[in-house]
Structure 1
Amino acid sequence: MYMPPNTRLKLDPRDEYTHEPEPVSNYNESMYFNAFDSDAGLGLWVRIGNRPNEGHAEMTCCVYLPDGRVGFMYRRPALAGNAAMDAAGMRFDVVEPFRRHRVRYEGDLLLMDEPMAMADPGRAFKRFPQRPAHIELDFEGVSPMHGGEIVTLQGERATLDPEHAVYRGHTEQNMAVAGHVTIDGVRHDLRDGTGYRDKSWGPRHWHSFYWYKWLPVTFGRDFGILLSLKGRPEGGPARVSGNVLRSGIYEPVLDGRIDTDYDPDWVPRSLAAHVTTASGTYTMTGRVLTTVPLRHKRSSGDGRSYTRIVEAMTEYRCGEHRVLGMTEYCDLMTDGVPVSVATARAAA
């Protein structure tokens, strides 16, 4: 993760729970989990984002079914306070800090046989039916924690610009998953699932992300790759971060790049990620299976620009390892072109 100069990270198990909101309008506290059963061809991700100073939460649930359909829901329920991660039928519980978490959902999902229709969410919610869903998942950490709160070198709270920050603290972890998902009366079990989680807290505007590419892939209990590339509005090479999990130990990523094949709408079809650590290099390939495009409109501007987040269930391979995982690309879009593509073209 990126840190300002003269700062370090502080990791504290108390940060697994909710915090007292900072006195800024855009304070955000969010948790995200993904889970996959590679044998069953099933995947999902869920997120709760509390925005107590704006008086609402954000809840997103996205399930990738084996037949290519997607169950999706997004809600913005009213929120008074920041006491729990509990919004619109979704609840996250910390069972044991840094080790075990539980996810439950009871509510409807929009059942889409054309997931790309979410590029126009208003039309998609009118076009597709909503069906009842029930999710119960238990997550077990299989890696150390990555990240923490950004503090000064002396351990004091760092000063952040709330208009440009995306978090004060951020943590991530590779996970094992077990549980079940039921949609429209059909139950799917995750028996030996893999997954990933993250948590952020502090000031956040979505449009503060210029562009990033995030590949959080857990191949199993003893191997995983996280690669994150973040673009710089001022130009220059992307910020590279991440780690490789080998037998319970994280190897920090020293360098990395992602080569992407896009369709005509600039949606990724496949990719190759090249990762370097102190002990060697890794090449991880991905074949995108199912994609859901999401968007965040800017509160001001000429209407030509918005933030697009592509959430794609992807089949990953690295050496003899194979697993389902997430591909997440976030871009400022202008006239339909991702800024990550536009800047790469300009630099070529």
Structure 2
Amino acid sequence: MPSTNSLAPNPDDESPHPPGVEPFWNESWYFDGVSADPEVGVYVRLGNVPNQGSCLYTVAVVRPGQPVVMVTDYAGPSPVLEDRRQIVHGADYEAVQECVTRLADYRIQFSGAAQQYNDAIDVLRAEPGTHASLTLDLHWITDGEPYAWQALTRYEIPCHVQGTVVIDGETIAVYGPGQRDHSWGTRDWWANDWMWSAFHLTDGTRIHAVALPDVPDFAIGYIQTGGEITELTQGSATHQKSKDGLVSSAVLRLGDPADPLVVHVTPRGFGPLRLEAPDGRVTHFQRAMADFRTADGRSGVGWIEWNINQH
């Protein structure tokens, strides 16, 4: 039976796109997930920057109370395209992402070297980690309605994530909610701050929201319940930092400012990036597995990020 989702992306957009002419033109694929037993969060990003002949490849595995395991290849080789597979042959790793079934199933594989950090703030301070070996074999299976942004070339898909993560020989089963997105266009990390989030509540509600501190009462995203999508066009986000500079809590107010859905956010583990522009500007990209709790008593898990430029 055909989908009645009028906001669904074009399946052809799962494939890579011809690049624009802008130096910061970027094509980005994000994958994240949270598993409860044991508690672990993972995210993977391939950000191809073809006009610079490189990519930014990132993996983060977070477990509360344990070191964060990260791959941060800020100038990796451009991905090699083989049918529906993209392969990044890094100096000490190989990463493969494959669109198994368009808009339905995506597979991520990784094998190679990573770095462990006892404190995630060390990543933002450009301090070295210690070596770890890392293997991923994970599927992102669509579990909700794919959603195409109306203003930009981007779409978001709520997913169920399943597979395995292996850290220094220890195998961890991953089974839980997640999200993936795909965008293409200019990505200037140093132009403005933002908050992005995607989370799953225990009653089955899926929420995705993006807010910009410089644009009050404006948000992009959705609330999905029972297969029905409500687009978000209004909202705001505030956050507090701890003494070390990492975000310690946040509050999202989504929808009509007169009667918003209020969501309290508590980060559980970070996989951050320190991004330096060619002209020396720096932004702290803080991405965290988090707990989400609504003011009406519902709870859930997911990932949230803050792009915070350092002035």
Give the alignment's TM-score, normalised by structure 1: 0.77
- Cα distance, 1:63 vs structure 2: 0.3
CA distance in 2, matches of 1:24, 1:81: 21
What amino acid does structure 2 have at the position aligned with 1:31? Answer: W
Deviation string 1:69-95 (CA, Å, 9 cap, x unpaired) is 110011232227766532232221111
Distance 1:169 1:107 in 2: 32
Aligned position for 1:79: 78
| Alpha-carbon distance change, 184 to 115 in structure 1, aligned in 2, over 3 angstroms | same
CA change 1:218–1:85 in 2 (3 A) is farther
Q: How does 1:107-146 map to 2 (within 5 A)?
A: 107-121=112-126, 123-124=127-128, 128-146=129-147
Q: CA offsets, 1:292-323, max 9 Å, x none?
A: 432222322xx5x4222111221222345433
The superposition leaves residues 256-285 of structure 1 with CA deviations (integer Å, 9 ceiling, x where unpaired) of 22232322344211122222269x742222
Match of 1:308 among 279, 284, 289: 284
CA RMSD of aligned residues (A): 2.5
Match of 2:222 among 208, 223, 243: 243
Output the CA distance in 2 between the equivalents of 1:272 and 1:310.
16
**Gaps in structure 1 of 5+ consecutive residues:** 1-8, 151-167, 335-348
Aligned equivalent of 2:177, options 170, 194, 198: 194
Larger of the two Rg values belongs to structure: 1
Report the number of matched residues: 296
In structure 1, what is the Cα distance between the partners aligned to 2:216 and 2:184? 27
Asked whether the 8 Å contact 1:176–1:221 carries over to 2, the reply is no
C-alpha spacing 1:23/1:275, structure 2 compared with 1 (3 Å): closer
Contact 2:212-2:236 within 8 A present in 1 as well = no
Shift of 1:61: 0.5
Q: CA deviation at 1:26?
A: 3.0
Contact between 1:36 and 1:42, CA under 8 Å: does it hold in 2? yes
**Residues 194, 219 of structure 1: 8 Å contact kept:** no
Q: Equivalents in 2 of 1:132, 1:36: separation in Å?
A: 21
Structure with greater proportional helix content: 1
Which residue of the other structure, out of 190, 196, 205, is the alignment partner of 1:223? 205
Question: How much has 1:111 moved relative to structure 2?
Answer: 1.6
* 1:287 and 2:266 are equivalent in the alignment: yes
Deviates more, 1:314-323 or 1:95-104: 314-323
Counterpart pick for 2:103 among 93, 98, 109: 98
Structure 1 position 195, deviation (Å)? 0.4
Contact 1:52 1:80 in 2 (8 A): no
Range moving further from structure 2, 264-273 or 74-83: 74-83
Separation of aligned partners in 2, 1:187 and 1:81: 28
Mapped partners of 2:18, 2:110: distance in 1:
25
Matching residue of 1:346: none
Cα deviation for residue 220 of structure 1 reads 5.5
* Equivalence for 1:258: 237
Contact kept, 8 Å, 1:292 with 1:311, in 2: the verdict is yes
Contact 2:155 2:181 in 1 (8 A): yes
* Alpha-carbon distance in 2 for matches of 1:148, 1:252: 10
Q: Quick check: 1:205 aligned with 2:188?
A: yes
For 2:134, the aligned partner's letter is: A
Aligned CA distance change for structure 1 residues 287 and 37 (closer, same or farther; 3 Å): same
The TM-score normalised by the length of structure 2 is 0.86
Q: Report the equivalent of 2:68.
A: 70
SS at match of 1:15: helix
Query: SS of the residue aligned with 2:255?
Result: strand
Which position in structure 1 is the counterpart of 2:4? none
Letter of the 2:181 counterpart: D
Deviation at 1:30, TM superposition (A): 1.4
Deviations 1:134-160 (A, max 9, x none): 11111111122222575xxxxxxxxxx
Q: Which residue of 2 aligns with 1:36?
A: 34
Q: Which amino acid aligns with 1:194?
A: P
1:265 to 1:85, Cα distance in 2 relative to 1, 3 A: same
Structure 2: gaps of 5 or more residues: 1-6
Any conservation in 2 of the 1:110–1:131 contact (CA below 8 Å)? Answer: yes
SS of the aligned residue for 1:92 comes to strand
Whether the 8 Å CA contact 1:37–1:324 is kept in 2: the answer is no
Q: Aligned pair in 2 of structure 1 residues 281, 63: CA closer, same or farther (>3 Å)?
A: same
2:246 equivalent to 1:267 = yes
Q: Which amino acid aligns with 1:143?
A: G
